[in-house]
Amino acid sequence: MNGNLSLLDAFYNTKYQVSGNSRRNIQVLKDAIMDVDGNMESDIYGGGKLIEDFEAKIARLLGKPSAVFFPSGTMAQQIALRIWCDRQGIHKVAYHPLSHLEIHEQGGLKELHRIESVLIADKDRTIRLEDVLRMKDDVACLLLELPQREIGGQLPPYEELEAISAHCRSKGIKLHLDGARLFEVLPYYGKSASEICSLFDSVYVSFYKGLGGIAGAILAGEQDFTTLSKVWKRRHGGDLISLYPYILSADQAFDLRLARMEQYYRDAVELAELFNACHSIATKPLVPVSNMFHVHAEAPKEKLEAALSALCEETGIGLTAWVSAVGDTASYFEVSIGDRYAAIPKEELKRAFLALDAKMKSIS
């Protein structure tokens, strides 16, 4: 913990950071509402022009008839799965072993909705058609996360996605998209959001990942599905009298950064190459398919932290604020490209990676 704290401090003291858009401070909100007319009316319990306009805008982009703004993806996705389970009369869903629902939500799906999860595919790869074909359990719904965040943002080939979708439709299994980072994979797939979403019955997207909003999510699908999702949103305590601070920020972030996803993706590919040229380092995936990837190092967490802290001080470039252990001898960290990367002079970046390469040789 001390190690992480000092890396965190060192990271924030650097002139340049490779990940993210900006610091998560109050200025993000100030910037988001600065130019908004103060006379604009708040949304009221899910109604009003401010929230309805944004929901309609995102529904159009996703190619779905209707969309509902939620305070969080945790809430939106549990509700989507609950609706499909109730409709199918089966209280079981399938997803990846490292799905957000399985590892980051304190078992909410089980504790609140009594829905069982069937974990398919190995932890270190994405779900394949054969995993779905091999599934023995009767499930109401299959959830796919694009990209699979916990394994560096991996993606299945688009054809496999189409095949999984076709199979689920033929079997009456609902297909839900965990699209927390959906906009981040559009450049790699070379598809529009609505093309990808047409493969799914319901879709969740987030506004604070690559887009850089403050918080908030959209759940989209058919009208009867979203209407019911609003009832569940009320039950969850998510139907706040006012969600506009998040909506205004989401809308601004969306308009600002959606078109930049192509650049973030290219930047990620370039940056991963720099990492992979270093001793005892390999990115996962080796060639990124979105704005994100994981950096795996053959060095214990504490040693990597110390090396990265020193690198911050010596080069003024922060590669990460956090390192996670992989057993006793290896470690990794996550990189998500946003606005910050483009500000780093290429020569300084190259010097930092030469220094990283040297440090890795001495610790691994």
Which residue is it, tokens 């529904």? 59
Q: Compute the half-sphere exposure of residue 220: CA atoms within 13 Å on the CB side of its CA.
A: 32
Query: Binding of a second copy at residue 2 (CB under 8 A)?
Result: no
Longest dimension (CA), the chain: 60
Q: Exactly one of 5, 15, 41, 329 binds a second copy (CB under 8 A); which one? A: 41
The pair of three-digit structure tokens given for residue 11, joined into one six-digit string: 């990271």
- The answer to whether the beta carbons of residues 193 and 183 sit under 8 Å apart is yes
- Nearest residue (CB) to a second copy, 1 versus 259: 1
- Nearest residue (CB) to a second copy, 281 versus 323: 323
Residues 291-320 that bind a second copy (CB under 8 A): none
Q: Exactly one of 5, 13, 15, 36 binds a second copy (CB under 8 A); which one? A: 36
- The answer to whether the beta carbons of residues 352 and 278 sit under 8 Å apart is no
Query: Binding of a second copy at residue 27 (CB under 8 A)?
Result: yes
Residues 137-166 that bind a second copy (CB under 8 A): none
Only segment of 100-108, 167-175, 343-351, 352-360 that touches a second copy (CB under 8 A): 100-108
Q: Exactly one of 57, 92, 113, 351 binds a second copy (CB under 8 A); which one? A: 113
Query: Binding of a second copy at residue 25 (CB under 8 A)?
Result: yes
Question: What is the DSSP secondary-structure string of 278-340?
Answer: STTEEEESSS-SSSEEEEEESS-HHHHHHHHHHHHHHHSEE--S--EEETTTEEEEEEEB-TT
- Report angle CA 250, 108, 65 to the nearest 5 degrees: 45
- Nearest residue (CB) to a second copy, 88 versus 242: 242
Closest distance to a second copy from the beta carbon of 194 (Å) = 26
Only segment of 53-61, 244-252, 303-311, 339-347 that touches a second copy (CB under 8 A): 244-252
- The answer to whether the beta carbons of residues 305 and 4 sit under 8 Å apart is yes
- Nearest residue (CB) to a second copy, 45 versus 158: 45
Is the backbone of residue 126 left (phi > 0), alpha (psi -120 to 50) or beta? beta
Query: Binding of a second copy at residue 287 (CB under 8 A)?
Result: no
From 310, 313, 294, select the one nearest 302 (Cα to Cα).
Answer: 310
Query: Binding of a second copy at residue 111 (CB under 8 A)?
Result: yes
- Cα distance between residue 168 and residue 218, in whole Å: 23
Only segment of 24-32, 59-67, 293-301, 355-363 that touches a second copy (CB under 8 A): 24-32
Query: Binding of a second copy at residue 255 (CB under 8 A)?
Result: no
Is the backbone of residue 114 left (phi > 0), alpha (psi -120 to 50) or beta? left
From 210, 211, 232, select the one nearest 219 (Cα to Cα).
Answer: 232
- Nearest residue (CB) to a second copy, 93 versus 299: 93
- Nearest residue (CB) to a second copy, 129 versus 228: 228
Query: Binding of a second copy at residue 8 (CB under 8 A)?
Result: no
Only segment of 30-38, 164-172, 255-263, 272-280 that touches a second copy (CB under 8 A): 30-38
The footprint of a second copy on this chain (CB under 8 A) covers a number of residues equal to 51
Residues 200-239 that bind a second copy (CB under 8 A): 208, 214-215, 231-232, 234-239
Question: How far, CA to CA in Å, does 192 sit from each of 121, 140, 145, 187?
Answer: 27, 27, 17, 9
Closest distance to a second copy from the beta carbon of 215 (Å) = 5
**Around Cβ 133, how many Cβ atoms within 10 Å?**
11
Contacting residues toward a second copy, per CB under 8 A: 23-30, 33, 36-42, 44, 70-76, 78, 105-108, 111-113, 208, 214-215, 231-232, 234-246, 248
